[in-house]
Amino acid sequence: MHLKTLLSLFLISFSTIQAQKSYTKTEYGLKAVIDSLVIELQFYSSKNVRIVKSKKGFDFEKNSLSVIAELKQIDFEISDHINQTVTLSSDDLKVSLDLVTGVITFQDSNGTSLLKEKSDGTHLIPKMDLNEYSFRVKQEFQLDKDEFIFGLGQFQKGKMSQRNQELFMRQDNKETAVPIIQSNKGYGVFWDNYSPTTFYDNPELTYFDSQLGDVIDYYFIYGKNADGVVKGIRELTGQAPMFPYWTFGYWQSKERYVSQEETIGVVKKYRDLKIPLDGIIQDWQYWGDNYHWNAMNFGNSNFSDPDDFVEQIHDLNAHIIISVWASFGPETKQYEVLNKKDMLLDFTTYPQRAVNTWPAKPEDPLSGVKVYDAYNPKAREIYWDFLNKGIFSKGFDGWWLDSTEPDHLEIKEEDFENETYLGSFRKVRNAFPLMTVGGVYKNQRETTSDKRVFILTRSAFAGQQRYAANSWSGDVVSNWDNLSNQISAGLNFVATGIPYWNSDIGGFFAWEYPEGIKNPSFQELYVRWLQYGTFTPMMRSHGTNTPREIYQLGKRGDWNFDAVEKFINLRYRLLPYLYSESWQVTSNASTLMRPLFMDFSEDLEALDLNDEYMFGKSILVAPVTESFYTEGKNDSVAKFDKTGSRKVYLPTSTDWFDFWTGEKFTGGQEIEKEVPIDIMPIYVKAGSILPLGPKVQYANEKLGPIEIRIYPGADAQFTYYDDERDNYNYENGSYATIEFKWDDSKNKLTIGKRKGDFKGLPENIEFNILKVKDKNSSGIFPSATKTNLLYTGKSKTLHIK
């Protein structure tokens, strides 16, 4: 070979190597420049990687509002390939960047493909925003055609898998935008952008398209399974703290109790009837007229003694939270202070008019109410200062932060030109709930640790679980379709890593039902909604147009009253299970309300079911979402001459026990379950240990005896948890756990030594141990082999036939 030829080949080879190495290794990954695009890959852990894409020469500073994890060095390898790609490899993940096209591919450590960007699928389109340069940002991906994805927040369309649709994601009353998806392949993507965003998917293309962003910024989370994805989300965006024990009890509310005497009277009535109740909610207008909207004081003369108001509720062994908004009337002190500091946003919000009637008339005077700039940390401090002095100091137990989207009426494009502390309203629109809820949580935590923060909120954004927030589904209309749609809406919401969610039991607007609560058709809907609500993280009855208290339904002996009482009592028996599962949410990033794909990812029949779910890791719930006993919305009589039935799919790979009868079924089949008005299909997975508490009138009335129910057929394990129940001492180790283990082949139950301690820990607990047997039928709780044990904290082994 001639020297000249050899030299030419060397130069070609050298230039190829140079092309392959057109990147810079960084402390956390790599940075590459491809044409006009700057691409940076940053490992947050061996399973979580951040992708940032920006225009060359464009200076930006992006501090995530959702992600609070700090970058830290991990072990990874970097390798070049002859096809001009570079690959970053951690213990769990391979991330490859094509140095010619800029396409990024994600694989597991074995090289199995997980997700790939589309070729030419990165778009940063120049756009002016408040006279500053920015971009419309869009990233396209290619998913497998048979892949399922879940998440995106709350959209009440009745869909479980989020494939094959287009969603416009902007916070609204009944729509909560959380731009996180997770796949049945065991990965998740968090699109870290706060502007209104379009999500689109078809078999060929999936993308996020946001109206504004300085950069494309997303996180790839490889969890290997759904729990792992949620764990990765929370490692990035924060863990969920414990709620007070009492919050898992039953809540009564309506729009609205018009005086403190009426609110107190509701609690008294429940106590007189011996119906369990723990939470009562005071809705709006306790402050007076709309010019004093959200004044955070008791300007309404019907609430003349708020200190006594709270004291009487507490004396009845109940708790009270109160409605607070993200907006202020023009005659409030808050408005005056915030307006002087230019901390109010200028767009039309609720209430638009000054009168307290619905609907308002166009000729009615404007209210002048404005939303505050929750993006401003100083504004959040001012907000809390008024809230603390006017309400929290009175002893209220938590917050109903209403309209945290916030309400945005008569939407105009110029509304998004409002300048917030963090830029235009357009740039940060969807993060408003995260900011306002976070402000209340952080400031209350700084004020006291004696009372756990509890926030009920109408909207949410990625990371909001760290702020003790329990979201609800907004002002839904009372009908069967909306009840059905709540199930998949809630399940996709929790798939984004935010575990606590609920809906107004009965639906908010009951205007489709003449006579409201007196209408048997509405009563049937209400009973079924309450049965479903028994198996959501917060069991809360609420609505307008008609009252919802149990005594409004009728009396004991009436079908409607008895069915509601039965499920409220069931909720209280489930409290030990619920509280222990909530500890798993806090300590192990678990999820309480579980879509079936979380536990049965290999069962293709289960993945896209939109009407069943697991409640904790043992209980399968199949709500009844159609009418069987009334006909039409004007039916005056409920007819029970025939019993309705509901089809239930039992996932494969396990056996199932009917909760009500003890009858055992093999998984992987659809069965027909009769559903009289007081029965909702509930099944318990074989190989489960279920702790059930005593019958009580409020959550903290008494601890025991605790029924330990064993569902045989497989080995089982359960961690029973307890603590002081309403402070943050658990964060410093003040809690106790008891490990239960069932050896199915030996019929042996081992109760481990109690670990940990806390103030008020009972010296002994009475356990009634029950092994459920097939085809046992004896009422609401099937009896079987029983063993009674006074547990003293020491390890104990029992053989149970």
For residues 153 and 143, what is the distance between their CA atoms, to the nearest angstrom?
A: 20
The residue assigned the tokens 């139950």 is 749
**520-533 vs 559-573: helix crossing angle, rounded to 10:** 10
Question: From the CA atom positions of the chain, what is the Rg in Å?
Answer: 28
- How far is 709 from 460, CA to CA, in rounded Å? 36
- Specify the pairing of strand 755-757 against strand 327-328: unpaired
Query: Does 276 sit behind a cis peptide bond, omega within 30 degrees of 0 on the bond before it?
Result: no
**At 779, is the secondary structure helix, strand, or coil?**
coil
Active site residue 655: no
Q: Rounded CA gap, 1 and 416, in Å?
A: 69
Q: DSSP for 44-70? A: SSSSEEEEEEEETT-------SS--PP
Marked catalytic residue, from 385, 475, 562, 605 = 475
Alpha-carbon gap, residue 247 to 471, rounded angstroms: 13
Q: Which residues contact 12 (CB under 8 A, 6 or more apart)?
A: none
Q: Is 405 a catalytic residue?
A: yes
CB 501, CB 472: distance < 8 Å: yes
Cis peptide before 725 (omega within 30 of 0): no
Residue 551 · residue 562 · CB < 8 Å: no
The dihedral over CA atoms of 492, 493, 494, 498, expressed in degrees to the nearest 10, equals: 160
475 classed as catalytic: yes
Among the options 98, 402, 524, 723, which is catalytic? 402
The phi-psi region of residue 627 (left if phi > 0; otherwise alpha if psi is between -120 and 50; otherwise beta) is beta
User: Angle at the Cα of 380 (from 175 to 399), degrees rounded to 5?
Assistant: 60
**450, exposed or middle or buried, with CB in 10 Å at 0-12, 13-18, 19+?**
exposed
Nearest-angstrom CA–CA distance, 131 and 200: 29
Looking at residue 728, its amino acid is Y
How many angstroms from the chain centroid is the CA of residue 222?
20
* Spatial distance between the Cα atoms of 368 and 414, rounded to a whole number of angstroms: 18
Q: How far is CA 345 from the centre of its chain?
A: 28
Annotated active-site positions, please?
Answer: 402, 405, 475
